[in-house]
């Protein structure tokens, strides 16, 4: 599975570099939506935006099964569980230090798709506010 994932990742990067595959959004698109606090934008609603897309309809059936298994594993292990752990760490700090202020910064990938760090915190009853660029905290 690791070899399959590496090969698929390399093939995607080669296709992007050759121009035969178009990325669904640019880094600039991601930055613009993130800065505007537009986390409901289409680009933020794809759980697999953080990991290569292994599911490819041109693959033979047995490789499609492998691709689905890897995609599922990455989504669960690299996205959902990681965001859950990070959200719990934030909650612990906040609950144990009610007399202190905190600033938490996360990479944009932690705001993508479902079960984001923000989702974890809101589901636990915390209020999360976006601070636009240039606005004092």
pLDDT tier, 40 (very low <50, low <70, confident <90, very high otherwise): low
Cα separation, 29 vs 3, in Å, equals 31
Looking at per-residue confidence, does 47 or 10 come out higher? 10
Indicate whether 125 pLDDT > 80: yes
User: pLDDT by residue (tens digit) across 45-59?
Assistant: 554 444 456 666 677
- Residue 135: the pLDDT is 85
- The residue-averaged pLDDT of 8-26 equals 77
- Residue 71: the pLDDT is 78
User: pLDDT by residue (tens digit) across 91-112?
Assistant: 999 999 999 999 888 877 777 7
| Tokens linked to 124 | 């636990």
- Write out the chain in H/E/C secondary structure: CHHHHHHHHHHHHHHHHHCCCCCCCCHHHHHHHHHCCCCCCHHHHCHHHHCCCCCCCCCCHHHHHHHHHHHHHHHHHHHHHHHHHHHHHHHHHHHHCCCCCCCCCCCHHHHCCCCCHHHHHHHCCCCCCCCCCCCCC
The number of angstroms, rounded, from the C-alpha of 15 to the middle of its chain's C-alpha atoms is 22
Whether the Cβ atoms of residue 53 and residue 12 lie closer than 8 Å to each other: yes
Indicate whether 86 pLDDT > 90: yes
- Residue 55: the pLDDT is 62
- The residue-averaged pLDDT of 78-100 equals 92
């Amino acid at each position: 599975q690791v070899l399959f994932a590496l090969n698929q990742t390399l093939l995607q990067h080669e296709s992007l570099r050759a121009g035969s595959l178009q990325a669904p959004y640019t880094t600039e698109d991601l930055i613009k939506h993130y800065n505007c606090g537009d986390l409901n934008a289409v680009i933020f609603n794809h759980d697999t935006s953080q990991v290569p897309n292994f599911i490819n309809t041109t693959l033979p059936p047995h490789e499609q099964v492998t691709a689905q298994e890897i995609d599922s594993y990455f989504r669960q292990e690299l996205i959902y569980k990681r965001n859950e752990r990070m959200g719990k760490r934030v909650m612990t700090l906040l609950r144990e230090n009610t007399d202190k202020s905190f600033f938490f910064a996360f990479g944009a990938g932690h705001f993508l798709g479902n079960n984001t760090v923000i989702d974890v915190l809101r589901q636990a009853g915390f209020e999360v506010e976006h601070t636009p660029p240039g606005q004092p905290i």
